[in-house]
Structure 1
Amino acid sequence: MEIRTLRYFVAVAEELHFGRAAARLHMSQPPLSRAIKRLETDLGAALLLRSPAGVALTPAGATLLAEARALLDQAERVRARVATASTITVGILGDGSDRGAVRLAAAYRQRHPGIEVRIRETDLTDPTCGLRAGLVDIALTRGPFDETGLVVCGLRADPVGAVLRADDPLARRDSLEPADLAGRRWFQFPDGTDVLWRSYWNGGEPREGPVVRAVQECVQAVLWNGTVGMSPLGHELPGELAVVPLTDMVPSRVVVAWKEGDTNPLIRSFVEIARAAYHD
């Protein structure tokens, strides 16, 4: 018995009419009738009672209908599991030109040439990149954030600096302390954003300022309004902006994160390759 033939039989058994079943299967009626006849011959039992009014299930047909439905459901589950085993969805936050991420992509592609890697880029309101919502298998992101229920592996620590307009008097300084920026407006993330994440990017202090969600919105807030923000050192920014190193600030960690208990071997391999890529 082929899966396709069982699907044909289920359609006829549920419609109790060859014409309607053929329309449902997007095929003509004669080959459908022949397929069911071959199935009956293979099984050595009549499955349907045919009459001008339509068809009815025999006891053997009713038994096969229940078994066929279970087999088709199992086939769908197998297909879904196989598809999952050959795909990994990665959430990414931040600078897509990060050299570590570029090396990671090349190394993962070399190690797993047959795996489809799906990328989901997220804005700055979700440091887990959709991990908690089940939208991704693993996140390549930055900390800190609430790690409850997650496994987090550090890859690199980047010093951070204050982002200012280039004509800001403080932009000429070699370094700044968070206290130097007291009273200045900082860009803010929306209410509901991870508390640890919001606090870190506000320099650990309560701040006021425009609400932003994306990197470009942060840049424009500084350009248009003279708003202050933070950025890892080394990120490319427009010439009209300056980044002055901030002392007494914990570096921004690049991390990979995944859900506790997830045993997907593609995740384990991703973490192993990421560690090597970010330490080259």
Structure 2
Amino acid sequence: MELRTLRYFVAVAEELHFGRAAARLHMSQPPLSRAIKQLETEVGALLFTRSPSGVALTPVGAVLLAEARALLDQADRLRARVTAAAGVATITVGILGDSTDPGATRLAAAYRRSHPGIDVRIRDTDLTDPTCGLRAGLVDVALTRAPFNETALTVRELRSDPVGVVLRADDPLARRGHLLLADLGDRRWFQFPQGTDPIWQSYWNGGEPREGPVVRAVQECLQAVLWNGTVGLAPLGHDLPAELTAVPLIDMAPSRVVAVWNEGDTNPLIRPFVEMATAAYGH
């Protein structure tokens, strides 16, 4: 199995949709579908069940997903160590969930202009690790959202976003101008996998223990709302499918967009990057 094919597989497994996975990988859908079929041939079993509404992991696919993630993380660590040993001017940036944030777009343009000789590598991560691989040494700096366990980390706030409740458009609560956490007490909420930072989990559950489906990616959250009527929280201002809406949650603390890096990291590229991020996100 090639690492590239495993990256394709993980993208489809996280998006649960070949079209979205292809867009995320910046490739067309037919070669992605062929690569997954070839992988299934190598494995000797189906990895996905396919239907007009999308795809779902088979039990074999679920096992491969866990192993593929571990293998790809190890490959990323190896690449980072070799690059550091070679002395190449590289900074690896972790981005959580939504890389379409206009602040990130402005930062990319400004950084390209001011640091043309720097190799910037982006590691897009799912919702299970708010530090985007920072503690594991996979990235130098993360553009993410707080709160999370900040032990041994340095955090710089870039922006603060109000939070809303994501609901189906036909949900009775969707007609309200705003909501309170108490209005959602009897609903099912998103959960993150066991082992996820409890501070992070608690924030996205409104500070209370909740029950509901386990998700890893933004698209899984949206699908849970569409299919199961699950409610969850999201920063306001993000584009949503027509079938969904976000209602402001007025007693919820704002979601803080932050830059974070390991305390004491002496990489000289981090501080200038964070200063530029502060300007770009505060624009």
TM-score normalised by length of structure 1: 0.71
CA contact (8 A) 2:97 2:217 kept: no
Match of 1:178 in 2: 181
1-structure distance, mates of 2:87, 2:213:
46
Q: Percent identity?
A: 75
Offset at residue 78 of structure 1 (A):
11
**Pair 89,205 (structure 1): closer, same or farther in 2 beyond 3 Å:** same
In the TM superposition, 1:130-279 aligns within 5 A as 130-279=133-282
* Counterpart code for 2:251: D
CA contact (8 A) 1:95 1:235 kept: no
2-structure distance, mates of 1:148, 1:78:
27
TM-score normalised by length of structure 2: 0.70
- The answer for unaligned runs of 5 or more in structure 1 is 1-76
Q: Does 1:100 align with 2:99?
A: no
Offset at residue 81 of structure 1 (A):
5.0
1-structure distance, mates of 2:251, 2:222:
23
In the TM superposition, 1:57-136 aligns within 5 A as 80-83=85-88, 86-136=89-139
CA contact (8 A) 1:160 1:251 kept: yes
**Pair 115,242 (structure 1): closer, same or farther in 2 beyond 3 Å:** same
SS at 1:238 equivalent: coil
Offset at residue 192 of structure 1 (A):
0.5
CA contact (8 A) 1:92 1:129 kept: yes
Cα deviation per residue 1:32-72 (whole Å; 9 max; x = unaligned)? xxxxxxxxxxxxxxxxxxxxxxxxxxxxxxxxxxxxxxxxx
2-structure distance, mates of 1:279, 1:146:
24
SS at 2:190 equivalent: coil
SS at 1:265 equivalent: coil
**Pair 79,238 (structure 1): closer, same or farther in 2 beyond 3 Å:** closer
Cα deviation per residue 1:222-253 (whole Å; 9 max; x = unaligned)? 00000000000001110100100001111000
SS at 2:87 equivalent: helix
2-structure distance, mates of 1:233, 1:171:
14
Aligned residue-pair number = 203
**Pair 159,79 (structure 1): closer, same or farther in 2 beyond 3 Å:** closer
* Counterpart code for 1:257: V
Structure number with larger C-alpha Rg: 1
CA contact (8 A) 2:163 2:248 kept: yes
* Counterpart code for 1:95: D
CA contact (8 A) 1:145 1:197 kept: yes
CA contact (8 A) 2:162 2:236 kept: yes
**Pair 265,79 (structure 1): closer, same or farther in 2 beyond 3 Å:** closer
2-structure distance, mates of 1:118, 1:78:
11
Offset at residue 82 of structure 1 (A):
1.7
2-structure distance, mates of 1:121, 1:98:
13
2-structure distance, mates of 1:78, 1:254:
29
2-structure distance, mates of 1:129, 1:215:
15
Match of 2:51 in 1: none
